[in-house]
Every structure is written in C-alpha cells, then in structure tokens.
Homo-oligomer: A and B are copies of this chain.
Amino acid sequence: MVVAGREHVHVLQEEDSSKRRQILAGAHKVFMDLGFDGASMGEIARAAGVSKGTLYVYFADKSALFEAILEEEALFHGQVVFNFDPARDAETTLNDFGQAYLHLLCRPGGGSAIRTVMAIAERMPDVGRRYYMRVLDKTINRLSEYLRAHVASGDLAIDDCDLAASQFMELCKASLFLPFVFQAAPPPSEQRMAEVIDSATRMFLGAYKAK
C-alpha cells in the first residue's frame, strides 16, 4: 500500500466537494421557497438527494447551512458584473445597471433571498446585517464610487453620492418591486421594467446632471 488516500484527506474542509455543492443547491431551493422556518432539514435532504445525516457532516446545523446559502447568494450577486467603467457615459451606465439590478431582484425567486433574509433579521440580526453589507451595501458603494468619478470629472453634480446611489436604486424599484415581493403582482414585463428604469434615469440625471 503506497500513497493511497491522500486525495481523501480533509475533503470536508474543501469549500467545493461535490456533495457540498449538491447540498447547497437543494438547500437553496428549499430555503428560498419556504423560508428559514418553513424549510425542514428533511425536505432539504430530499431536495439535495442526500441523507439527513450527511447534512450534518458538512454543516454544523440548520443556521450554518442557511448562512452558507446566503454566502453563495452574495457571491452570485458579486458575480453579476455591473459595468461601472468610469469611462462610460452616465445615461447608458445607469440604464444598464438599472436593468441588471431590477432583473436580479425580480427574477423568479429573486425576491426570495431578500424576503428570506429580511424575515429572520429580527431574530438573527447578524445574518441580516451581514447580508445587507455584502450584497446591498456593496452595490450601493460601487455605484456611489462610479458617481463620484463623474462628479470629479465635472459630469455630475452630487453632494452625497451614497445617498444618490441609493436613490437611483430605489427609483428603479418604483411600482415594481413591492407588489412583486408581496405577491400582489406577477413579475413585471420587460417593457414595463424598461419604462420604469428610463423614468428613473431621467429623473436622476435631471437632478444631478451638472449644468
């Protein structure tokens, strides 16, 4: 018997064993569909195609698994490249960003992450805070930075770029996001989204375009 076994060592520590990915996939679906409390470990195990026991090999408990899902979600958000190249003109950039952002939020099951995290923010404040910082605040900051660059270049005239960034993002959601997360309306059509983002961009630039 020679060096056999080396490749089996510490497999659990690896962030990406296939079982782990498998579990995360199943858990993601179940958590997003049913919420933290509504999701049961049994359901997750079934959705992941593993045994309940295996869940606990990879994750300490239900909360740890949930937080891993959010981690994933955060990574996914991070990978959605918002093109904030300072060289691009503001109108196009904002429009493109608005599109991408709104699609992210309103994709089927897209409100779910926000909804799900919000739901437990009161009981698990750290989780809420962490998610906000890693996902929403980060996006605000990137946009804010982009805006600052254009302020510097004299293109835009903005006092509080963080506020402005947040304002633009809120404008993009106007009339669309809340009905969607409250299940009071189906996901918005492409056309409607375009109209809303158009309006947002116009209003935003109307206010902040340097004269």
Contact = CB atoms under 8 A, between A and B. Distances in A.
B34 A182 contact: no
A119 to B, nearest CB: 3
Contacts of A137: 179, 184
Contacts of A199: 160, 163, 167
Contact of A182 (B37, B131, B183, B207): B131
Given A206-B207, A207-B203, A115 B118 contact: yes
Assembly stoichiometry (copies) = 4
Contacts of A181: 118, 121, 128
A150 interface: no
A128 B182 contact: yes
Contacts of A203: 167, 203-204, 206-207
B170 A174 contact: yes
Contact of A206 (B34, B118, B163, B206): B206
Q: How large is the interface on A (under 10, 10 to 19, 20 to 34, 35 or more residues)?
A: 35 or more
Name which of A38, A125, A171, A181 has the most chain B CB atoms within 10 A of its CB: A171
25 contacts: A33-B123, A34-B123, A35-B37, A37-B37, A115-B122, A116-B119, A118-B119, A118-B181, A119-B120, A128-B181, A132-B179, A132-B182, A132-B184, A136-B182, A137-B179, A163-B175, A167-B175, A167-B199, A170-B170, A170-B173, A202-B207, A203-B203, A203-B206, A203-B207, A206-B207
